[in-house]
Amino acid sequence: MKNKFLTVPLLLSLLTACTTQSYFEKVYKFFDATLFGYQYEGEKNYLTNINDIFYYLNNDTDNYKAHGKGIYEINQDNNVHEISKDLYDLLNKSLIYQDAFGGKFNIFVGLLAKKWQESLDNKLVLPPNVISEEVNKIRNTSLELSISNGVYTAKRIGEAEIDLGAIAKGYALDLAKDVFINNGVNKYLINGISSILLGENIRNSGDFRIDFNDIEGKCFYAKNTFIGTSGTTERGVTIDGVTYSHIVNPITGSVINNYDMTYVIANNGALADALSTTFMISTVDEVKSLVDKYGAQALLYKDGEIVYKTEGFVIKDING
Amino acid sequence: MDKKILRNDIILISALAIASGAGLTTVLLTRKTDNLVANVYLQTELIETIDLSKKEDKYYTVQGLHTEVKIHTVDGAIAIVESGCPHKDCIYTGYVSQTNRPIICAYNGISIVITSTQEGGADIVI
């Protein structure tokens, strides 16, 4: 008799397991964007822990509003400021990319980016003398980072303002990935639209199918990686037939970019974000050099054409 | 006695296996082919879940941060059709029927995300 009572719940539980599917989801409003988080396995919901990480990093990297110990405070003067370990690591990584990307990735574009934004909001092109003045400030600004007795500090030298908008969201996804991996969760997705963290999908052998908004009828498959995109499609402003973007070339001060969209697949979020922004103002040869150096995949798109694509960036027909 | 228990067990297991198989087959056969659901969020709170697979022509009104937001579903697609936001970007997004291509009204804190468990569709649109 005992056996019969064991068999019933066993079979019922098998049936239930076959027909139900549960997962966690959460919407985040940080980094001037909306991010959609999905955790497809595990008993505990780690999307809430990730919310806390995003919250603090968002405050640390906000260059428009004071939160106590962040970029806004560093931008106010040339004094030493105590900062969090995460912000220290992010600034350190940013400076490494700044050196390595041939000057086309620069965190000191903040003030110039603000001036361009104000100007473009009024459908005006920023005057050359203002651009020149701000580019000089960018050239003459640097950042000193230090750690002493477990205290992390940053000191800006110069007048240009720091803006981590091109890397902060990607770096936040790096921290989010750590939360999933450290807790044994392998099936997850955080879709921040221009910055995406992919774990494993619940179908397609773990692959996610990613369709392009701009490249009609094409898609690609990816898992366990990061995607960074940049472009003029969403935030570009056209004046007299010329499209101006929000991405500033720190060398020339121009916001006229080389491509309509850039797509990058890389093994960390900060890198994917930084590369996709940098590629918007890079030549194809410069892009080739950087993807080789970092083992990333890239696709450059302009005027309805794929200008360049690495071999590893495999795109397919949606109906193929 | 032991033989009787064993025979009864075999009968019971067989009966349950057939019943389970029949149940599972029923579930699979009756599963909707377009398994799309639109989740409507106010900030980070899920405030409405709309089953798009019903393909209903229906209006929903949700309260945003500043104004009411009117949502329309038709033929398995969803759109924001009225909002008191200044730029109306959410309305210009138009009707969406793809997964993970959100409609966002930043002014009112409203996001609409379509999700699917169906095989084969796009998971993300970039």
Per CB-CB distance under 8 Å, the chain B contacts of A210 are 122-126
**Is B13 in contact with A14 (Cβ distance < 8 A)?**
no
Dihedral class, residue A42 (left if φ above 0, else alpha if ψ from -120 to 50, else beta): left
pLDDT at site A109: 97
Q: Are B92 and B69 in contact (CB under 8 A)?
A: no
Print the domain residue range for A296.
Answer: 22-317
**Is A209 in contact with B122 (Cβ distance < 8 A)?**
yes
pLDDT at site A1: 44
B83: closest CA among B102, B111, B108? B108
Q: Residue A3 domain-assigned?
A: no
pLDDT at site A235: 67
Q: How many Å is the Cα radius of gyration of chain A?
A: 22
Q: Residue A304 domain-assigned?
A: yes
Per CB-CB distance under 8 Å, the chain A contacts of B109 are 29
Per CB-CB distance under 8 Å, the chain A contacts of B27 are 19
Summarize pLDDT for B27-77 with one digit per residue, the tens.
333 223 357 889 899 887 889 989 888 888 999 999 999 999 999 998 888
Residues 6 or more apart whose Cβ sits within 8 Å of residue A265: A222, A225, A226, A227, A272, A296, A297, A298, A312, A313
User: 3-class SS at A245?
Assistant: coil
Q: Which residue of B has its CA nearest to A203?
A: B119
**Is A227 in contact with B9 (Cβ distance < 8 A)?**
no
Q: Look at B16 and A28; give whichever has higher pLDDT.
A: A28
**Is B126 in contact with A15 (Cβ distance < 8 A)?**
no
Summarize pLDDT for A231-284 with one digit per residue, the tens.
986 667 888 888 898 899 999 999 999 999 999 999 999 999 999 999 999 999
pLDDT at site B30: 28
Q: Which of A62-76, B69-83, B95-109 has the lowest mean pLDDT?
A: B95-109
pLDDT at site B92: 84
Distance in angstroms between the alpha carbons of the first and the last residue of chain A: 56
- The stretch A210-228 carries a mean pLDDT of 93
Q: Which of A1-10, A215-224, B49-58, B115-124 has the lowest mean pLDDT?
A: A1-10
Distance between CA atoms of A45 and B115, rounded to whole angstroms? 18
Residues 6 or more apart whose Cβ sits within 8 Å of residue B45: none
- The stretch A133-155 carries a mean pLDDT of 97
Of the partner residues A3, A27, A213, the one whose CB lies closest to the CB of residue B41: A27
Q: Which of A112-126, A260-274, B103-117 has the lowest mean pLDDT?
A: B103-117
Backbone torsions φ then ψ of B95, nearest 5 degrees: -85, 130
- The stretch A192-208 carries a mean pLDDT of 91
CA distance B122 to chain A (A): 5
Best to test chain B binding among A211, A223, A234, A237 (most B CBs inside 10 Å): A211
pLDDT at site A18: 39
Residue A80 has pLDDT above 60, yes or no: yes
Q: Which of A83-92, A197-206, A294-303 has the lowest mean pLDDT?
A: A197-206
Q: Are B100 and A186 in contact (CB under 8 A)?
A: no
Q: Residue A181 domain-assigned?
A: yes
CATH of the domain at A57: 3.10.520.10
Q: Residue A8 domain-assigned?
A: no
CA distance A174 to chain B (A): 19
Q: Residue A309 domain-assigned?
A: yes
Q: Residue A12 domain-assigned?
A: no
**Is A29 in contact with B44 (Cβ distance < 8 A)?**
yes
**Structure confidence at residue B20 as a pLDDT band (50, 70, 90):** very low
A160: closest CA among A96, A253, A279? A253
Q: Which of A51-65, B49-63, B103-117 has the lowest mean pLDDT?
A: B103-117
Question: What proportion of chain A, given as a percentage, has pLDDT over 70?
Answer: 92
Question: What proportion of chain B, given as a percentage, has pLDDT over 70?
Answer: 67
Distance in angstroms between the alpha carbons of the first and the last residue of chain B: 67
Residue B21 has pLDDT above 60, yes or no: no
pLDDT at site A20: 40
A-B contacts (CB, under 8 Å) = 87
Residues 6 or more apart whose Cβ sits within 8 Å of residue A246: A113, A116, A117, A235, A236, A255
- As for how many domains chain A has, the answer is 1
pLDDT at site A5: 45
**Structure confidence at residue A320 as a pLDDT band (50, 70, 90):** low
**Is B126 in contact with A11 (Cβ distance < 8 A)?**
no
As to burial, measured by CB atoms within 10 angstroms (0-12 exposed, 13-18 middle, 19+ buried), residue A318 is middle
- The stretch A34-49 carries a mean pLDDT of 90
CA distance B56 to chain A (A): 25
**Structure confidence at residue B24 as a pLDDT band (50, 70, 90):** very low
- Asked if A11 has any chain B CB less than 8 Å from its own CB, the reply is yes
Q: Any idea which residue has 């900030």 for tokens? A: B43
Per CB-CB distance under 8 Å, the chain A contacts of B20 are 11-12, 14-15
Q: Are A107 and A162 in contact (CB under 8 A)?
A: yes
Distance between CA atoms of A269 and A161, rounded to whole angstroms? 23
Residues 6 or more apart whose Cβ sits within 8 Å of residue A82: A69, A151, A152, A153
